[in-house]
Amino acid sequence: MTAQANTATANTAVPLTDTAKTIRDTRPLRLITCGSVDDGKSTLIGRLLWDTKAVKEDQAAALSRDSGKQNDLGLPDFALLLDGLQAEREQGITIDVAYRYFSTDRRSFIVADTPGHEQYTRNMATGASTADLAVLLVDARAGLLEQTRRHATIASLMGIKQFVLAVNKFDLVAYDRAIFERISHDFKELALALGVRQITAIPMSALKGENVVYGASSAMPWYEGPTLVEALELATTRSAQAGGFRLPVQRVSRPGESFRGYQGTVAGGSIKPGDSVAILPSGMVANVKQIVTFDLVRNAAVAGDAITLVLDRQVDVSRGDMIVSLDAQPMTGLNFDAQLVALQPGGIEPGKRYWLKAGSRRQRVTVQPVSQLELSTGKWKAHSDAFAMNAIGKVHLNFDETAIFDAYDQNRTTGAFILIDPDTNNTVAGGMVSAKRSDLGGLHRDAQRVLLSLPADLAEELLSGEVLSARRDEVEIRRVSQQQAKDILEDLN
């Protein structure tokens, strides 16, 4: 009987091991941790690394030596593990994004430790742009703070669709279930307002290691959910972005008369010799003759590969252009809708000319604020003035020359940009494009041109009028329906 039971156990173990192997073969899960200063992020990550045995022996020895002040459980100070930067110890706050690696039998993980201090919103956005999941920490004694709301909002804007709420320091609130329920309820409301549906809330003590890697059944018998690591093992990685081929051209390589290649890192899709491509913004068309990496000729390239592309005909391509699949092209135009986060004390001024940098492309742009996110309610409020630092806003971007973007939710590389202040050279905003506006166009005006979108009859009337007939060359008319014209006017108001 006992032997049979043993066999049964052994049998069921086999498929489990197989599953574990399959999961292990997949890409690592990338996560960010965020929260306010002192919520315990460093302690949590230190605990994750320690309990999953990601800490090497020499590091562990150094830690025991270093950590003169062991905590009251006689364990090393886990936060010290995270002290990548000397400056951090001096200032007592985390000041840069640090990436850490750990794994369980089922999966491997890359965690970006992003700082909680208000002025480092930019680093948080950096960590979030590649993450599959965000772990948001709150101190059980404090509940949700404005900083938690800000970080959850940035994470969702950056395309993260899975959140774990770590209600930390639960040992300090006597493992009170009512507190957990109140905080997780508040958080679920916030997450739903942000459009995030995959939410796991976990009561934990990073310091004591409860519900991080190991459970805490004696302290919280009422909690039946997963530990943090179990939740992470079950999370899904963002599937590789499908979409069309994108190669932002970083360099044109011309080692000799007979060879001309376009170099860059593939930012989306895949390509193989024979595929047809368009070169943007010119719109010229060619076929791929060869794909070269270092000294190898390849028969295909995918997102993330650094390649040199050789085309089958002479075309004019320069740095900042984008080579894209002919049949799945990005948006091109002068006007786009975007969301951005203001990163500098000077904020973002309406109408000021900034440099916009997207990949290898840099162009002039003006920003017109449309609305601002009110963090306390999660609602967008109309806002046409300057954005203060840390504000999250929706804007119209108006370019002098054709810009090329994918929507950020289609492609996180070709949909993202930064704004640079030409006076100071500081990066003043990070942003994501949501859509192109030039289908409606509205009224666009700069020194050279006037662009009008009007119904055909009105367009003719206007052009024959005294003012515009003399300046006909400078005017571009887009003929639109009455309804579209009405939408444009509403949009402008």
Q: Which of helix, strand or coil describes residue 179?
A: helix
* DSSP, residue by residue, 53-89: T-S-HHHHHHHHHH-SS--TTS---GGGGG---HHHH
Cα–Cα separations (whole angstroms), residue 464 to 10, 152, 199:
88, 54, 60
Q: Residue holding tokens 């192109």?
A: 436
- Could you list the residues known to form a binding site, using ranges: 35-42, 113-117
What b/e sequence results for 247-256 when a residue is b if at least 16 CB atoms lie within 10 Å of its CB, and e otherwise? bbbeeeeeee
Instruction: Report in angstroms how near the CB of residue 82 gets to ligand GTP at its nearest.
Output: 7
Which two tokens mark 23?
Answer: 């999961």
Instruction: Report in angstroms how near the CB of residue 164 gets to ligand GTP at its nearest.
Output: 15
Instruction: Report in angstroms how near the CB of residue 51 gets to ligand GTP at its nearest.
Output: 13
- Could you list the residues known to form a binding site for GTP, using ranges: 35-42, 113-117
For ligand GTP, which is the closer residue by CB, 43 or 200? 43
For ligand GTP, which is the closer residue by CB, 209 or 268? 209
Which two tokens mark 444?
Answer: 């666009």
Can you tell me the distance from the alpha carbon of 75 to that of 66, in angstroms, rounded to the nearest whole number? 12
Task: Tell me which H or E stretch contains 427.
Answer: strand 427-436
Residue type, 329: Q
| Whether the Cβ atoms of residue 182 and residue 196 lie closer than 8 Å to each other | no
| Whether the Cβ atoms of residue 388 and residue 332 lie closer than 8 Å to each other | no
Q: Where does this chain bind ligand GTP (CB under 6 A)?
A: 35, 37-43, 79, 93-94, 115-116, 168-169, 171-172, 205-207
Can you tell me the distance from the alpha carbon of 116 to that of 109, in angstroms, rounded to the nearest whole number? 21
Instruction: Report in angstroms how near the CB of residue 205 gets to ligand GTP at its nearest.
Output: 4
Instruction: Report in angstroms how near the CB of residue 216 gets to ligand GTP at its nearest.
Output: 11
For ligand GTP, which is the closer residue by CB, 172 or 456? 172
Instruction: Report in angstroms how near the CB of residue 72 gets to ligand GTP at its nearest.
Output: 9
Q: What share of the chain is helix, strand, coil (3-state, %, to 5)?
A: 25, 35, 40
Can you tell me the distance from the alpha carbon of 213 to that of 454, in angstroms, rounded to the nearest whole number? 62
**Residue 136, number of CB atoms within 10 A of its CB:** 28
CA 146, chain centre distance (Å): 20
CA 21, chain centre distance (Å): 29
Q: Which residue number is nearest to ligand GTP in terms of Cβ?
A: 40
Instruction: Report in angstroms how near the CB of residue 38 gets to ligand GTP at its nearest.
Output: 4
Instruction: Report in angstroms how near the CB of residue 207 gets to ligand GTP at its nearest.
Output: 3
Can you tell me the distance from the alpha carbon of 305 to that of 247, in angstroms, rounded to the nearest whole number? 10
